[in-house]
Chains A and B, each alone.
Chain A
């Protein structure tokens, strides 16, 4: 059975305290892994797409990496405006996205 699991469920960081979020998956026919940011009451905002193990992508304070079983979203020196829920999603055949449970990040000034 296909599964996408994110950890931790919630994370509180001091401003400037770097950390990583995890997304582990067991999906047959993976076509890509996506990271999204979601603010309360809003739709997800696209961050990254990773297609193959070993791939890395960066954007400002965020860096996403991918292995054959999991992906990490590294946050370097986070700021309060980085507070949000971070979702990972896997893309299967038929362009179907399946989302993980999300990590709620709070960055304290």
Chain B
């Protein structure tokens, strides 16, 4: 299957700082990328959907000014957690689909800890 790479896998930051997470499709063009967060022992919650070159569509309750998503190319999307607080600590996962292909490939996830 296709490979989606997420970086970094773990990050610890101080409260009030911003953190950027990258999601890359390594061997295919990702027309749509998705960002999820997952709390311990809970399922993935969709945060936003982004299409290349367009503004991201955020799910209800997700602050677009806090979670900045950029999908500037067909192989890269970034999620920036701005002014991070301890409650933003979570496991963030991206996935990508190609064109009309419905199969989604997932990154390895990023464990964010805000101290």
CB within 8 Å of B: which residues of A? 31-32, 34, 36, 41-46, 49, 87, 89, 91, 94-102, 104
A96 in contact with B102 (CB, 8 Å):
no
Q: Which residues of A contact B75 (CB under 8 A)?
A: none
Q: Closest 8 A-B residue pairs measured CB to CB?
A: A43-B106, A99-B44, A99-B43, A43-B109, A101-B43, A44-B106, A43-B108, A102-B43
Which residues of B, 67-115, contact A by the 8 Å Cβ criterion?
Answer: 91, 93, 95, 97, 102-109, 111
Other-chain contact of A34, B1, B45, B93, B104 (Cβ < 8 Å): B104
A95 in contact with B44 (CB, 8 Å):
no
A96 in contact with B49 (CB, 8 Å):
yes
Q: Which residues of A contact B95 (CB under 8 A)?
A: 43-44, 97
Kindly provide the distance from the CB of A10 to the nearest chain B CB, expressed in whole angstroms: 9
B: number of interface residues (CB 8 Å): 27
Q: Which residues of B contact A31 (CB under 8 A)?
A: 102
What are 22 residue pairs bridging A and B, where the CB atoms are less than 8 Å apart in the complex?
A32-B102, A41-B91, A41-B109, A42-B108, A42-B109, A44-B44, A44-B106, A45-B106, A46-B1, A49-B102, A49-B103, A87-B43, A89-B44, A91-B102, A94-B49, A95-B104, A96-B34, A97-B34, A98-B46, A99-B36, A99-B43, A102-B42
Q: Which residues of B contact A36 (CB under 8 A)?
A: 106
CA–CA, A34 and B79, complex, Å? 25
